[in-house]
Structure 1
Amino acid sequence: MNSAAWRRALWIALFVNAAFFVAEIVAGAAAGSAALQADALDFFGDAANYAISLGVAGAALAWRARAALAKGATLIAFALWVLGSTGWYAFYGTLPRADVMGAIGVAALLANGGVALLLYRFRIGDANMRSVWICSRNDALGNLTVMFAALGVLGTGTGWPDVIVATIMGGLGLSGGSQIVAQARRELGAGRVVAADVAAR
């Protein structure tokens, strides 16, 4: 699919994710929050994914599936990084700033909620289109859990809610990446079958 509406939605999503990557990586480092930094890297991955999607939006299905496969693998890699860094925060018992987490979480949720609504109509399609929807959905869910983590840190006076939320976000990344990779591989397999059938004729 290469409609003007699809490309416009992708450009908006790309801009929002790039802007919030910068905001969250700075805020996460300042606040000592594993959840915010995990969300920031997710924003970075999504911005790159949207850029790839724009590049292959009008390409053949096989190329779109290959791009989706790369995006799924990237999402899985980011999720593993998140889980590893979360373990580091848990080991050292850091206490993040709940006020910064909450403020950034609210702003990011509003932005990603708008992007998710914008892309909702494109949630059913090939692996490349579906991957864009999954990334946007995971972003909005991640922002919501960051807000819950901020409340938990404020209420308990410990960093464990931040660690728990970062772990959940890592799980979402693994799940979303696995779904994208599975559908992309199916589409690539179907393409090979069709190509072989054509060559046999």
Structure 2
Amino acid sequence: MGCSDDEPLQRRTLLAVLILNALLAVGLGFGGLAADSSALLANALDNASDAAVYLISFLAVGRALVWKTRAARVSGIMLLILAAGVLIDVVRRAIMGAEPVGWTMMGLALVAAAINLACLILIRRQKSKDVNMKAAETFSLNDFASNGGILLAGGLVMWLDQSWPDLLVGLIVAAIGLKGGVEILREAREVERAR
């Protein structure tokens, strides 16, 4: 099978967003633990899942359509698993209690938003109809939206001196993950049916 003109660019783009998301996952994970924030930990898990998905998508570039749809399906399933993990963490923190640090949440949300916006711009420049590139775009858009929620939650945590805004955003991140996972699985199924 020959290599199309956009495959090397797709590989470079996916590798760039893979590295950015892996680094962001580590930073948000440490920040979430330090700030006792469910929202930041949810975002860290989300970015770690995204990095794994970008690796799968990177490996799918240039392969047969059946391989690409399987890779997209794995991406969708991983996102659903992430959402379930976030829901469990939010329930645990609601029961056990948490004292999130609002200013840490806000600072890391701004950094994450800038990185996720850069990833989204890189992916959208591709103008690709490839199912894995569409999945990558969904992930980056979801992450960017989640960062806005964490920024708001951090401000509310500081203003109200309560943890519920952090838990609420954790729930919203889980809902975004569920929606994104379902969309990716639906699109992979439609591509498979169209073959």
TM superposition score normalised by structure 1: 0.91
Name the residue aligned to 1:90: 94
2:182 is matched with which residue: 159, 162, 178? 178
Q: Return the index of the structure with the highest Cα Rg.
A: 1
Q: Does 2:124 match 1:120?
A: yes
> CA offset at residue 83 of structure 1?
1.0
Provide the rounded CA distance (Å) in 2 between the counterparts of 1:182 and 1:152.
36
Name the residue aligned to 1:39: 43
Structure 1 counterpart SS, 2:125: helix
Note the residue ranges of structure 2 that are not aligned, 5 or more in a row.
none
Provide the rounded CA distance (Å) in 2 between the counterparts of 1:80 and 1:123.
31
Q: How is 1:146-185 mapped onto 2 (pairs within 5 angstroms)?
A: 146-185=150-189
Name the residue aligned to 2:77: 73
Note the residue ranges of structure 1 that are not aligned, 5 or more in a row.
192-201
Q: Does 2:141 match 1:141?
A: no
**Aligned amino acid, residue 144 of structure 2:** A
What is the RMSD computed on CA atoms of the aligned residues? 1.3
Bigger mean CA deviation after superposition, 24-33 or 92-101: 92-101
Shift of the 123–68 alpha-carbon distance from structure 1 to 2, 3 Å rule, reads farther
Name the residue aligned to 2:64: 60
Q: Deviations over 1:159-179 (max 9, x none)?
A: 000011011100000000000
Q: Does 2:115 match 1:105?
A: no
Name the residue aligned to 1:194: none
**Aligned amino acid, residue 55 of structure 1:** L
